[in-house]
Structure 1
């Protein structure tokens, strides 16, 4: 049996941030049963943004038709996918090599708790003074007849060829972003959502404007459509819903994600968790003091994003190294949807402000005619400012091709003593590496 000071289950952004910080002073083991690097660089935000690079160029060219450009480049899907793979295919090997180079031991396999300080991986046992669960999430599976015919975002982000007809199920980030990529690349796209309020954490007026732009771009958005069944047809697949049937060559289930905890044996050692994740206190400890959880596997209401996972990894490193013992205090967390235009927000949300009009007021600004937006013909650009009763800006929501840039500027302005957390991946998020 091998002994370690800290064992980390999961080699994604949270686990890796922790491992790198501990490596120089502790004996550390990282266990991973899938791809080193985790979802974000392999099958999530980084992979998506590689594809989005070509999509963004085409959309900007379309906005400038008649303003100096006579045509917009077409997307060559196999070439764009090859570009994405040129990055993603080297991630697992490079990530594991980097961990080993700093002294971290790595093991491939599925970890299961034998005791609060003991794991079993492929019949080998590993003891840890501290064990940290950082196993992330996986796509939620719909419980409808024919669900085995559905694919996930992971499948979409590695398509050799782009199907002619694609249906996305779900009204969250993933559906909106992948629908934009697919439609801009030339597919006939339908997005369905079971109720009338997709992207519910964002201001309704901006979501409505985004949907109008999606519709203008040829994306069919069907709200109030509850998925009921999927079946094969002579020409492909058919999704049956409460609002009618939708034919497709590919149907992507993007109805949410669930924690990767099933194989960990949490019940055996009595770690508190449910379908929403692992319960932790304000020091990221589970109910077992020597066991912690960080990243997307944690049960919390904060957005499950790469910068948040990395922040928790850094915080826990300070705890385990004895550099601090205070409760975790999160900075303001910016969020973004890379749709037909970017929809982003930070600070007090418009939704919160509208529920508390005694303390907040919302100012709406159509900024499409401003020089910055006129220059790129972003005519529908909108900004919503949330101000407190003394007129101080405490929150911002933006729908614009430049929303990520503006929100990152407000991340600096609203930081309030914290090191700002930037949208990822953006130029500003690279600042952490420039030291």
Structure 2
């Protein structure tokens, strides 16, 4: 595909279109695109078969983060004693948390609906499928809408892997929000951020938690020291089993019996499978226009989110580029500005600040130590590992890790990685500096805010490791 936006509108004789833009999917990317396009004067219709807000708002990052907060209060109550507080024995009520969490999700859904209405977007609460380069059929009503442009923003869905006997007894990250009670014993399968976060949540809320992952480290693609630090912390909070896989699940009168590949067994009340997600393209009608999903099942697009069919675009997780809510939002915005606003721009997927809301938390931006060494050869690695001030009185043994990776040739900061309290909040601010191309000298001349954990980022002067490319004899 060409790396330029094809925005010439194919207009047949007369006004042959019912709308200028039809958006399939009411998640973060689709909603942003619809609102921005409408703001540029486009006639916009959006179809969502489930609930407006998408995975993030309805059954993803928002309700999950609320559960993370709930779990962290357990340690806060424990730590308070070290600071002189006498706290009565705390009791957790899952039903209260669930009721209030669900109410907040409903409130956000209403806001999304209201914002679309105020923008002038016509919302259809039903499934829509593609029937041609400019045709979308509403499944419930059977109505065919003629659209100048079609935007696919249907996201992805969880998949249950591996496919072993009894896997129907397990739930995914969709159903976990529907649990009416907290499982006393839970097996979480997976090593990505969804599995890691939910394992941390259930362990913090008092469930006897086992996290099972086939790899030797959690969180593939993250910096190795961060991965090792998280594994060490999780090994103290739960039963962490690495390098193991699930062989089968069986229903027993007292729970679910899980048998592992090494023959070991454990009985739990619930099994949560978080082993991956697939673009939600089944039955979407892509074959009617000749769009073939790629090997990962995603819709192939160019830098401007345009498919092989000039009138059809796709944004968000359905394209499997960078499956994060802020990325979907930016892709949707870029699409609307490019096609309807006369301002062509695309999203840079090369530098993305991100966080994992585990406990301890992870914040990261840029290259890992291994990636930087491969790409740049000569790098300096600055590292600080310490017990945070709060832990000195609480007695907790948690440690923080901060890493800054620097290109020796240019002094530019290539990556920053943080493991510890408020790492997500810190990395958002640090991400600005790294995105702007800050150097280590820029970090060094920044005044430290004392006493904070973040001040370590601007006070490290001597590299812990200096790597040089090996000469070839």
- The reply to whether TM is greater than 0.5 is yes
CA contact (8 A) 2:387 2:399 kept: yes
Q: Aligned in 2, Cα 1:286/1:378: closer, same or farther, shift over 3 Å? A: farther
- Residue in 1 that maps onto 2:73: 57
Q: Aligned in 2, Cα 1:239/1:316: closer, same or farther, shift over 3 Å? A: same
- Say how many residue pairs are matched: 414
Matched, 1:360 2:379: yes
Displacement of 1:353 after TM fit?
2.1
Q: Compute the TM-score of the two structures, normalised by the length of structure 1.
A: 0.89
Q: 1:126 aligns with which of 127, 131, 145?
A: 145
CA contact (8 A) 1:10 1:135 kept: yes
Gapped regions of structure 1 (runs ≥ 5): 419-435
Displacement of 1:330 after TM fit?
4.1
- Residue in 1 that maps onto 2:354: 335
Alignment of 1:14-413 (within 5 A): 14-24=29-39, 25-71=41-87, 73-122=90-139, 123-142=142-161, 143-217=163-237, 219-243=238-262, 244-274=264-294, 275-300=296-321, 302=322, 304-330=323-349, 332-356=351-375, 358-369=377-388, 371=389, 379-389=398-408, 390-413=410-433
Displacement of 1:160 after TM fit?
1.6
- Residue in 2 that maps onto 1:415: 435
Displacement of 1:351 after TM fit?
3.3
Displacement of 1:40 after TM fit?
0.5
Q: Aligned in 2, Cα 1:357/1:414: closer, same or farther, shift over 3 Å? A: closer
CA distance in 2, matches of 1:248, 1:213: 22
| 1:175-195 CA distance string (max 9 Å, x none) | 111111111111110010112
CA contact (8 A) 1:201 1:351 kept: no
Kindly name which structure, 1 or 2, has the bigger radius of gyration based on alpha carbons: 2
- Residue in 2 that maps onto 1:9: 24
CA distance in 2, matches of 1:417, 1:396: 12
SS of equivalent to 2:82: coil
Larger CA deviation: 330-339 vs 59-68? 59-68
CA contact (8 A) 1:230 1:239 kept: yes
CA distance in 2, matches of 1:350, 1:199: 15
CA distance in 2, matches of 1:270, 1:372: 58
CA distance in 1, matches of 2:344, 2:49: 31
Q: Aligned in 2, Cα 1:169/1:323: closer, same or farther, shift over 3 Å? A: same
Displacement of 1:248 after TM fit?
0.8
CA distance in 1, matches of 2:376, 2:302: 32
CA contact (8 A) 1:22 1:28 kept: yes
CA contact (8 A) 2:357 2:424 kept: no
SS of equivalent to 1:255: coil
Displacement of 1:69 after TM fit?
3.7
Q: Aligned in 2, Cα 1:396/1:211: closer, same or farther, shift over 3 Å? A: same
CA contact (8 A) 1:354 1:361 kept: no
Displacement of 1:361 after TM fit?
2.6
Q: Aligned in 2, Cα 1:375/1:381: closer, same or farther, shift over 3 Å? A: farther
